[in-house]
Amino acid sequence: MGISYTPRLSTTTLDVTHSSLFPCTSKTNPGKISDSTFSHTNNISLNNLQKPTKKFGSFYYCSHNTTCLGSKIVPLKCFDKVREMESQEGIAQKTTIDIHGIDEELVQKMVYDALVWSSLHGLVVGDRSVQRSGKVPGVGMVHAPFSLLPMTFPESHWKLACEVAPIFNELIDRVSLDGKFLQDALSRTKKVDAFTSRLIDIHSKMLEINKSEEIRLGLHRSDYMLDEQTKILLQIELNTISSSFPGLSCLVSDLHRSLLKYYGEHIGLDSSRIPGNSSADKFAEALAKAWTEYNNPRALVLVVVQPEEHNMYDQHWLCATLEERHNVKTIRKTLAEIDKDGEILPDGTLLLGGKEISVVYFRAGYAPTDYPSEAEWRARLLMEQSSAVKCPSISYHLAGTKKIQQELAKPNMLERFLENKEDIAKLRKCFAGLWSLDDSDIIQKAIERPDLFVMKPQREGGGNNIYGDDVRTNLRRLQKEGSEEDAAYILMQRIFPMVSPAFLVRESICHKDHAISELGVYGAYLRNKEKVIINEQCGYLMRTKVSSSNEGGVAAGFAVLDSIYLN
């Protein structure tokens, strides 16, 4: 999730006073998720947003603002889908968790206990108001923003999201190996997007020297929203670099499970309905196995980080798990530090400060701001040229761009990379509308109904998308200028998820609001030459935000961490 604006909302502040502390619980590993078959028509229907202002308790919201970013993949010839998008008649307001019936005093007790639990268990982030909080561990820590109660989610759709995770993993790997496809698909984007152009240049250099990645590691996250009108789980995007919150997301699941074990009888909720979440353990295990495949027990895992990282504790959870459970040492360095201290030996070995690096795990390098000078670009190229395992490699990085996702939506494109027809059908069930801006007919549709579309650039990290009237304004500007700048964007369908009341806790203050949620399912893929070592779903991230917000990144300050309550 990202955010473009946060409207002013009326909220109720709960005075957190005193409550008895409930017992701490250990992490629960998820059991194997059973397969499930789904059959539904992928008829995308988004439209006719409700206009009247509607009252929610003591809170007001304008329901024409209650929709969220949509995204993703659909064939170009899809005006039937556009007509279906125009047929939706608003968003239903319903939930199976009746938060209106929870006594305010009980809420105050739950908030107090949740804040204590977060402090004791490391569910924390850096406090942006403290100068050194993003640089020095232990300085200026605050609880991560969270939802007080889990968000209900259909069990059938949860199983589907888990079922397709390994298929998406395989797809990314296949796409990454097709250098010509990546270069051709991004050729127009390269001309108008300087950041993507630099990434493509690195990829071109690897093709020129015939650089192969025998050991390939992907730690992915596929993000979805459940469209309320069609009941279809639609993919928003597939993240292949710096898939955040594997460390903290499992803690939120534990927090909610603990709260429901203590308070469940009072509010009618069963803690066993929250699925286990082992994302931190699974990501660490994948990194450790990649380290093992590299086959040098003295080598280190390098975590590439930003100079100032308020989400460092999410990353430190992985590093701690790697060291404590797998005896794998890690170091954290910025791109500038890697440029200063890094070198490659003639055999391709990557050294950093004289120490050999086996695996490079990127938690930075996905945004233009991560490359303020040529030093950072030199570091990225240096690592790519080395024999270290990259997570992701430059080809994996490019395979996760918005333009590639749009290209994969074209008719018969998935068949270029996957053979299993059932797998292809499952992926297409998750595809939402996505178009190139060189299609004049769809552009006219978007100008006429900008509320049904989202313009997205080739960026990660949230806060970059264009919504509403700004879609019309920018499309008209591009038409008037007649330049190739349109290649820097893709056009996506907006998804209209269910709106539910929720308690959102940020900076120790709880407020009740209308909210929507986005499910991210983590996946790990590890391959050494022809041998697939890992290909699995490995945990999830639930993010919830006020429904009147277009985007909602947790790190950006607009969404909260959440978990799933299966129904």
Annotated binding site for ATP: 237, 402, 456-465, 467, 492-495, 518, 545, 551
8-33 burial, b if ≥16 CB within 10 A, otherwise e? ebeeeebebeebeebeeeeebebeeb
Q: Is 237 a catalytic residue?
A: yes
Tokens 């959440």 belong to: 562
- Name the nearest CA neighbour of 544 among 502, 509, 512: 502
Contact at 8 Å (CB) between 557 and 544? no
Active site (annotated) includes residue 298: no
Of all helices (H) and strands (E), which one includes residue 427? helix 421-429
Binding residues: 221, 237, 239, 241-244, 309-311, 315, 363-366, 402, 456-465, 467, 492-495, 518, 543, 545, 551, 554-555
Catalytic residue flag (residue 460): yes
Among 81, 380, 429, 543, which one carries the catalytic annotation? Answer: 543
- Amino acid type, 255: L
* Side chain identity, residue 547: S
Q: Looking at this protein, which amino acid is placed at residue 402?
A: K
The DSSP-derived string for 326-347 is: H---EEEE-HHHHHHHEEE-TT
Assess whether 461 carries a catalytic annotation. yes
The residue from 216, 380, 456, 527 that is catalytic is 456
Q: Are 239 and 506 contacting, i.e. CB atoms less than 8 angstroms apart?
A: no
Q: Which of 4, 47, 48, 244 is catalytic?
A: 244
Catalytic residue among 71, 118, 147, 239: 239
Establish whether 410 is a catalytic residue: no
Catalytic entry in 84, 163, 228, 460: 460
The DSSP letter of residue 286 is H
Is 104 noted as a catalytic residue in this protein?
Answer: no
Among residues 72, 190, 221, 449, the one annotated as catalytic is 221
Binding residues for Mg(2+): 237, 239, 460
Q: DSSP of 468-527, one letter per residue?
A: THHHHHHHHHHHHH--GGGGGEEEEEPB-BPBEEEEEEETTEEEEEEEEEEEEEEEEEEE
Question: Whose CA is closest to 504, among 541, 552, 544, 540?
Answer: 544
Q: Which residue in the list 84, 163, 213, 237 is annotated as catalytic?
A: 237
Q: Which of 109, 289, 402, 403 is catalytic?
A: 402
* Residue 83 annotated to the active site: no
For the chain, the first-to-last Cα distance in angstroms comes to 24
Cβ contact 160:427 at 8 Å: no
- Please confirm, yes or no, whether 456 is among the known catalytic residues: yes
Q: Write out the binding residues for substrate.
A: 221, 241-244, 309-311, 315, 363-366, 543, 554-555
Catalytic residues: 221, 237, 239, 244, 402, 456, 460-461, 543
